[in-house]
């Protein structure tokens, strides 16, 4: 008979131990160790390499391997195609994560509908909702296709039998935390169940050439629940970002074996579902207030797309011993670094000021080219002197106060010209070797001081001047 082995597994990182511990040595999380039972027998098969044909494969020279162009299924949703690298690759396993209510199920149901409309058979498996509940969502989204099949099931073995019978083009599992395997004794959603279930779906995808999307719940910290191994097993990891109380959603690829990991797709949540935002720069800037201090526009690169967004800053005297530094959409540590440069290299006394910095529209920016625009917005709010509304500011700021070059400047300037901006402030090292579009002025600056003089035009009377 098989023996039962007791072990304690961390539900956050998958760390295993023979005894219970209050703090996990792997991820340093408290009260995450849960008791699980494992059947131990003489022979046990694991993973998706189980067929005799697969075990008998032999190594071959890389020069003899035939390479064919990857066929992709068009999702007929341009923003999703951009994030995936051109469409869905047959046999791929894609993990989609995001906060509850952000729109994961809505997006995937729309994808299933678009693919089913064009003659492909699609299977949507829901482990959290009944088929009637899924039908209600489909009616709201105006989805009506005979090639879209819905199944409410959580048993992985039964799901595999249904896939064998139907042989669909695309399968959606909503969600991976609800399905289970009988031979795994732990509860659905545990580390063991999530790992083994994902391995089973990976085997199905690779052996049958079926594209599978699996939905993953997220923890309070925003990471996908379950072991980190889950993200390593799949081919692509997509995160759905955005505020539940805002209409815009951002789909970001953090891992993609078939494309770039810098691409984003932008959607707007409406009554009839998620709609694509084909010109996000215009959307993010349409509510900008002209003549307001503490505002600057930057051209940021998100993959191959240029997005113009507004950075807002509010600087006010603090009433506490330690001033506050709050940031939304920008790394908190970057704000502290830029304020230190402004204080040391420019002479702005910011050590007794609270700073609140925000990227308007709910976008998250993490590239270095936003440094200069952030510095101008902070200085503008501190001096209460607005920068010109027709300026776009691009550049990375170094610790010595210099403005460093950025990549793809010509593409950024072209996007600013299309949206009607008249002047672009860029690093002087980027000048030369390219021609600016007609109707827009390009000004090169070498230091933060020069950028503040160009954008803010000095300071108003009664305020100390920038130290140049």
Q: Which residues pair with 268 in a beta bridge?
A: 248, 275
d(CA 97, CA 108): 12
Q: Is the dihedral of CA 335, 336, 339, 345 positive or negative?
A: negative
Residue 101 annotated as lining a ligand binding site: yes
d(CA 396, CA 380): 18
3-state secondary structure of 335: helix
3-state secondary structure of 361: coil
Number of Cβ within a 10 Å radius of residue 432: 7
3-state secondary structure of 267: strand
Token readout for 304 is 């191959």
Residue 366 annotated as lining a ligand binding site: no
Q: Which residues pair with 207 in a beta bridge?
A: none
Q: Look-up: residue for tokens 């304020």?
A: 339
Number of Cβ within a 10 Å radius of residue 144: 11
- Cβ-count burial of 55 within 10 angstroms (0-12 exposed, 13-18 middle, 19+ buried)? exposed
Residue 105 annotated as lining a ligand binding site: yes
Residue 98 annotated as lining a ligand binding site: yes
CB 8 within 8 A of CB 35: yes
User: What number of residues does the chain have?
Assistant: 468
Rounded to the nearest 10 degrees, the angle between the axes of helix 448-456 and helix 371-383 is 50
Q: Look-up: residue for tokens 């307001």?
A: 292
Token readout for 206 is 């690779």
Q: Helices (DSSP H) in 347-395: which residue ranges?
A: 371-383
Query: φ and ψ at 278, to 5 degrees?
Result: -85, -25
CB 267 within 8 A of CB 107: yes
Rounded to the nearest 10 degrees, the angle between the axes of helix 131-140 and helix 104-117 is 80
Residue 99 annotated as lining a ligand binding site: yes
Q: Please enumerate, by residue number, every residue annotated as part of a binding site for ATP.
A: 98-105
Q: Please enumerate, by residue number, every residue annotated as part of a binding site.
A: 98-105
């Amino acid at each position: 008979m098989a023996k039962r082995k007791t072990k304690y597994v961390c539900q956050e990182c998958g760390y295993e131990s023979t005894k219970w511990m209050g703090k996990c040595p792997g991820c340093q999380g408290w009260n995450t160790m849960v008791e699980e039972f494992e059947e131990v027998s003489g022979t046990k098969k694991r993973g998706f390499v189980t067929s005799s044909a697969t075990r008998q494969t032999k190594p071959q020279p890389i020069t003899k391997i035939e390479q064919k162009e990857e066929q992709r299924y068009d999702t007929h949703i341009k923003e999703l195609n951009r994030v995936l690298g051109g469409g869905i690759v047959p046999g791929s396993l894609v993990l989609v994560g995001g906060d509850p209510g952000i729109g994961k199920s809505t997006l995937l149901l729309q994808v299933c509908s678009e693919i089913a409309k064009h003659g492909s058979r699609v299977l949507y498996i829901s482990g959290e909702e009944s088929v009637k509940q899924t039908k209600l969502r489909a009616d709201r989204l105006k989805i009506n296709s005979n090639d879209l099949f819905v199944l409410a099931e959580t048993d992985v073995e039964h799901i595999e039998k249904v896939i064998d019978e139907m042989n669909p083009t695309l399968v959606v599992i909503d969600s991976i935390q609800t399905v289970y395997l009988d031979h795994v004794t732990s509860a659905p959603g545990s580390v063991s169940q999530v790992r083994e279930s994902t391995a089973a779906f990976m085997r199905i995808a690779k052996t049958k050439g079926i594209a599978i999307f699996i939905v993953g719940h997220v923890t309070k910290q925003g990471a996908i629940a379950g072991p980190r191994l889950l993200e390593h097993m799949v081919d692509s990891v997509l995160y759905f970002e955005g505020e539940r109380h805002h209409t815009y959603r951002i789909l970001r690829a953090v891992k993609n074996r078939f494309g770039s990991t810098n691409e984003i797709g932008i959607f707007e949540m409406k009554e009839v579902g998620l709609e694509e935002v084909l010109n996000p720069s215009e959307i993010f800037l349409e509510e900008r207030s002209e003549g307001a201090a503490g505002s600057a526009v930057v051209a940021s690169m998100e993959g191959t797309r240029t997005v113009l967004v507004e950075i807002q800053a509010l600087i006010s005297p603090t009433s506490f011993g330690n001033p506050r530094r709050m940031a939304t959409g920008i790394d908190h540590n970057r704000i502290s670094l830029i304020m230190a440069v402004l204080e040391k290299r420019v002479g702005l006394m910011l050590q007794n000021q609270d700073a609140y910095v925000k990227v308007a529209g709910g976008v998250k920016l993490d590239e270095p080219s936003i440094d200069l625009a952030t510095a101008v917005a902070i200085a503008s709010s501190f001096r209460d002197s607005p920068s010109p509304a027709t300026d776009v500011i691009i550049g990375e700021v170094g610790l010595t106060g210099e403005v460093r070059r950025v990549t793809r400047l010509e593409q950024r300037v072209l996007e600013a010209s299309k949206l009607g901006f008249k002047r672009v402030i860029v690093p002087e090292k980027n000048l030369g070797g390219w021609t600016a579009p007609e109707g827009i002025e390009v000004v090169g600056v070498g230091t933060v001081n020069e950028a503040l003089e160009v954008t803010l035009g000095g300071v108003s009377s009664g305020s100390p001047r920038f130290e140049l």
